[in-house]
Amino acid sequence: MSPFQVEAKPWCSKKLICILVTLTILAGAAIAAFWPQNVSWQLTNLDVLDQASLTFFVMAFSNGLSNNATLPDITFHAGAKIENPNFLGGTAESGEFKVLFQGKELGGGRSDPVDVPALGSNTVEADVRVKLNPTLFHELTTDVLANSLHTNITVQGGAMVKSIFGLQVRCRMKCDILASVSEIFGDTKQAVIEKKTCVYHYF
């Protein structure tokens, strides 16, 4: 052995391996703790902002609609309670979303910015504007009547979420929803959504 070479002591190698293993475990635990987990949400309110428009659609639903009729837009104010299961809170910026029926756009809107604390909850509000033409109205009402005043819709959209240390994550959501149309006129607005299945993407 050269006089300039130093023999590595076994205990040094073992200690180094222990340190590396410990760091790997800690890194894995940190990733698991702070990796985005899916939020959950529940509808809290759904209010019609223009009763005259709603009355028009109720009459058209009962009496039918001519093919050249001009339909008014109808705007709902919706609220949803968001539950955050993550160890990091954040601020969701205003986000854009669409409401689809059988792949065709019924309407959409923008959600208000909202702060959601770590392991906490808050309510996000949004105005939803529904735009129908006679063809789409006929398809929607036919589906509702054929399914005991229920229909399936899809809500999809996204928003940028900002957290501590300058962390930014774009969250996109797609929810398939079974809606009870008759509950729009009831007092318990949460009952409008009978079932939902949501998929989230983060990037």
Q: At what angle do helices 51-63 and 134-146 cross, to 10 degrees?
A: 70
Residue 18 falls inside a structural domain: no
Residue 118 falls inside a structural domain: yes
Residue 108 falls inside a structural domain: yes
- pLDDT attached to residue 24: 43
- pLDDT attached to residue 125: 96
- pLDDT attached to residue 198: 96
Residue 83 falls inside a structural domain: yes
Residue 31 to residue 173: CA distance in whole angstroms: 22
Residue 62 falls inside a structural domain: yes
Query: Under DSSP, is residue 128 helix (H, G, I), strand (E, B) or coil?
Result: strand
- pLDDT attached to residue 100: 97
Strand partners, 193: 179
| Dihedral angle of Cα 110, 115, 121, 123, to the nearest 10 degrees | -40
- pLDDT attached to residue 18: 60
The CATH number of the domain where 124 resides is what? Answer: 2.60.40
CB 179 within 8 A of CB 142: no
Residue 34 falls inside a structural domain: no
- pLDDT attached to residue 34: 46
- pLDDT attached to residue 40: 92
- pLDDT attached to residue 69: 85
Q: Could you read off the pLDDT of 11-48 as tens digits, one per residue?
A: 556 666 666 555 444 434 443 444 568 889 999 999 99
Q: What is the arithmetic mean of pLDDT over 191-196?
A: 95
Structure confidence at residue 72 as a pLDDT band (50, 70, 90) = very high
* The pLDDT of residue 188 is above 90: no
Q: Could you read off the pLDDT of 138-183 as tens digits, one per residue?
A: 999 999 999 999 999 999 999 999 988 888 889 999 999 999 999 9
Burial 87-112 (b: 16+ CB within 10 A, else e): ebbbebeebebebbbeeeebbbbebe
Residue 20 falls inside a structural domain: no
Residue 142 to residue 58: CA distance in whole angstroms: 14
- How many separate domains does the chain show? 1
Q: Could you read off the pLDDT of 77-110 as tens digits, one per residue?
A: 999 999 999 888 889 999 999 999 999 999 999 9
Reported as type and span, the H/E element at residue 61 is helix 51-63
Q: How many CA atoms lie within 13 A of 168 on its CB side?
A: 4
Q: How far is CA 172 from CA 118, 155, 159, 165, 198, in A?
A: 19, 11, 7, 22, 10
- What residue numbers bound the domain in which 125 lies? 41-202
Structure confidence at residue 61 as a pLDDT band (50, 70, 90) = confident
Residue 10 falls inside a structural domain: no
